[in-house]
Amino acid sequence: MNITSGIVPKPQKTVIYGVEGIGKTTFASQFPDPVFIDTEDSTLYLNVKRFDKPTSWEMLLQQVDYVKANRPCKTLVIDTMDWAEELCKKHLMQKNGWNAIDATGYGA
């Protein structure tokens, strides 16, 4: 039998949900050594590290892969996920030749 104690360091995944303007981005900027993937220019008023605004789903994934490979930060913040989702939807529609994301029953 193996018994352990103490803190076991593991990456944490956090979703911060709230109405626009409540301070989600400012809150995330206080996390340990953050770098932002800023999909909607919400960090422009903050003195934080950020990637160029992703213009495609592929670019966003490349930014995530860069963080995984190079560890330029302790916290990766994707701000916001709803805008990232739109990049994903556009990618799927273009890749599959769909006129709309619900062409195959998505979200039904």
In the chain, where the domains are located:
24-96
Q: Above pLDDT 70, what percent of the chain? A: 97
Residue 103 confidence (pLDDT): 78
pLDDT at residue number 106: 63
Phi/psi class of residue 56: alpha, beta or left (left: φ > 0; alpha: ψ in -120 to 50)?
beta
- Tens of pLDDT, residue by residue over 23-68, are 999 999 999 999 999 999 999 999 999 999 999 999 999 999 999 9
Whether the per-residue pLDDT at 11 is higher than 90: the answer is no
Residue 52 exposure: Cα atoms within 13 Å on the Cβ side: 5
Average pLDDT, the chain: 93
CA distance 80 to 68: 19
For 54-66, b/e burial (b = at least 16 CB within 10 A) is beebeebeebeee
